[in-house]
């Protein structure tokens, strides 16, 4: 089984995010991590390799700094990695990201593509499905279980309340959800290896694309401005003994807010 894992370096979940220059850009505290859901994807790829052999290759589209995410994947146990270095495309919309990655995938041999179900920065959750469509492949989204046995691949997808058990023909794309596995912590030997390994880089031109496609004229959607979330008014404490406060809370919700 040859497995490609598509990962993204994102700001750490705790990083401060502030709106800058009158809504035109974001000031993000420079702390980075592998996207949470991508860690499940890497772990699952390693598990499949352990059971069935083959190789695991991690691929990212990002800035030069994103190579750190690839080193983490290697430290966890990935065999190879590849960086598609382009800040413009990396900051672009889902369509362009999927376009670049699908072009890169056309040059690879693989049975399985694993991705996280959503990147926790842009929160789009679009790219894996788009890649599948670009390549004419099936996908199974929000996967919490993946079984490969006797030439059959069966994935369990957790859409909201229901669980769907889906049989899929390979090659296919899967998006990993929390619950799929417990991502391993890299061993020190892995970290040493990852520091030394040479990671090849590609440019979008290598993939037959041009940089201006990611510019304002080339992308399908663009962000006009960033807006702050609606601020909630300061909390109003409901005082008194528990029984009294509880009754008062019920009164407010029923008579003032009229939500129940």
Partner 1 sequence: MDKVLVFVEIKGDGPRKVSLELLCEAARFAQNGRFSVEAVCIGRLPDAARDKLLSYTEKLVHFTDPELAVYSPEGYARALAGYAREGGAKMVIAGATGIGRDFLPRVAVLLETGIASDVTGANWLNEPMTFVRPMFGGKVFAEVVFSTSPVILTVRPNSFAMGEAQEKGGEYIEKTAGISPDTIHTKVVRVEEASRDTVDLTEADLIVAGGRGLKAAENFNLIEELAGAIGATVGATRSVVDAKWREQADQIGKSGKTVSPKLYIGAGISGAIHHIMGMDTSKVVLAINRDPNAIIFNYANYGIVGDLFEVLPAMTQELKKRKEG
Ligand X SMILES: Cc1cc2nc3c(=O)[nH]c(=O)nc-3n(C[C@H](O)[C@H](O)[C@H](O)COP(=O)(O)OP(=O)(O)OC[C@H]3O[C@@H](n4cnc5c(N)ncnc54)[C@H](O)[C@@H]3O)c2cc1C
| H or E stretch covering 193 | helix 188-196
The residue number whose beta carbon is nearest to ligand X equals 13
Q: Which of 30, 53, 151, 161 is close enough to bind partner 1 by CB under 8 A?
A: 161
β-sheet bridge partners, residue 202: 84
Query: Could you tell which of ligand X, partner 1, none binds residue 233, using a CB distance below 5 to 8 A set by kind?
Result: partner 1
Q: Which of 15, 26, 36, 166 is close enough to bind ligand X by CB under 6 A?
A: 36
- Judged on CB neighbours under 10 Å (0-12, 13-18, 19+), 60 is buried
User: Interface with partner 1 by CB under 8 A: which range of 41-49, 77-85, 199-207, 237-245?
Assistant: 237-245
DSSP notation for 19-57:
EEGGGTEEEE-S-EEE-HHHHHHHHHHHHHHHHH--EEE
The reply on whether position 20 binds ligand X by CB under 6 A is no
The reply on whether position 247 binds partner 1 by CB under 8 A is yes
Cis geometry, peptide bond prior to residue 171 (ω within 30 degrees of 0)? yes
Distance CA(47)–CA(146), nearest Å, equals 10
The reply on whether position 224 binds partner 1 by CB under 8 A is yes
Tell me the closest approach of the beta carbon of residue 151 to partner 1, in angstroms.
14
Site for partner 1 in 83-122 (CB under 8 A): 93-95, 98, 120-122
The reply on whether position 4 binds partner 1 by CB under 8 A is no
Tell me the closest approach of the beta carbon of residue 36 to ligand X, in angstroms.
5
Query: Could you tell which of ligand X, partner 1, none binds residue 192, using a CB distance below 5 to 8 A set by kind?
Result: none
| H or E stretch covering 203 | none
Please work out the total of residues on this chain that contact partner 1, with binding judged by CB under 8 A.
Answer: 79
Of 200 and 208, which has the nearer Cβ to partner 1?
208
Tell me the closest approach of the beta carbon of residue 31 to ligand X, in angstroms.
13
Q: Is the dihedral of CA 189, 192, 194, 200 positive or negative?
A: negative
Tell me the closest approach of the beta carbon of residue 96 to partner 1, in angstroms.
9
- Enter the DSSP assignment of 121: T
Q: Per the structure block, which two tokens stand in for 208?
A: 């037959």
Distance CA(59)–CA(210), nearest Å, equals 20
Of 187 and 246, which has the nearer Cβ to partner 1?
246
Of 36 and 199, which has the nearer Cβ to ligand X?
36
User: Interface with partner 1 by CB under 8 A: which range of 46-54, 65-73, 81-89, 217-225?
Assistant: 217-225
Distance CA(124)–CA(113), nearest Å, equals 18
Whether residue 43 contacts residue 6, with contact meaning beta carbons closer than 8 Å, is answered with no
The reply on whether position 172 binds partner 1 by CB under 8 A is yes
What is the contact surface with ligand X in residues (CB under 6 A)? 13, 36
């Amino acid at each position: 089984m040859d497995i490609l894992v598509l990962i993204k370096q994102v700001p750490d979940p705790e990083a401060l995010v502030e709106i800058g220059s009158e809504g035109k850009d974001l000031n993000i505290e420079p702390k980075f991590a592998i996207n949470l859901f991508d860690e499940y994807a890497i772990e699952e790829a390693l598990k499949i390799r352990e059971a069935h052999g083959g190789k695991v290759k991690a691929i990212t589209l990002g800035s030069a700094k994103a190579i750190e995410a690839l080193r983490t994947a290697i430290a966890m146990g990935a065999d190879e990695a590849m960086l598609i270095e382009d800040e413009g495309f990396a900051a672009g919309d889902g369509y362009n990201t999927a376009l670049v990655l699908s072009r890169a995938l056309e040059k690879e041999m693989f049975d399985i593509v694993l991705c996280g179900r959503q990147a926790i920065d842009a929160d789009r959750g679009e790219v894996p499905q788009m890649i599948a469509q670009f390549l004419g492949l099936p996908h199974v989204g929000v996967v919490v279980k993946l079984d490969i046995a006797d030439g059959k691949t069966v994935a369990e997808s957790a859409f909201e309340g229901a669980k769907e058990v889906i049989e899929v023909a390979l090659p296919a794309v899967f998006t990993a959800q929390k619950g799929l596995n417990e991502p391993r912590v890299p061993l020190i030997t892995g970290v040493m290896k990852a520091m030394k390994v040479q990671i090849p880089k590609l440019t979008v031109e290598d993939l037959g694309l041009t940089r201006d496609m990611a510019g304002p004229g080339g992308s399908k959607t663009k962000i006009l401005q960033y807006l702050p979330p609606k601020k909630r008014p300061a909390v109003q404490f409901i005082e008194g003994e528990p029984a009294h406060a509880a009754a008062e809370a019920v009164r407010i919700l029923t008579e003032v807010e009229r939500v129940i």
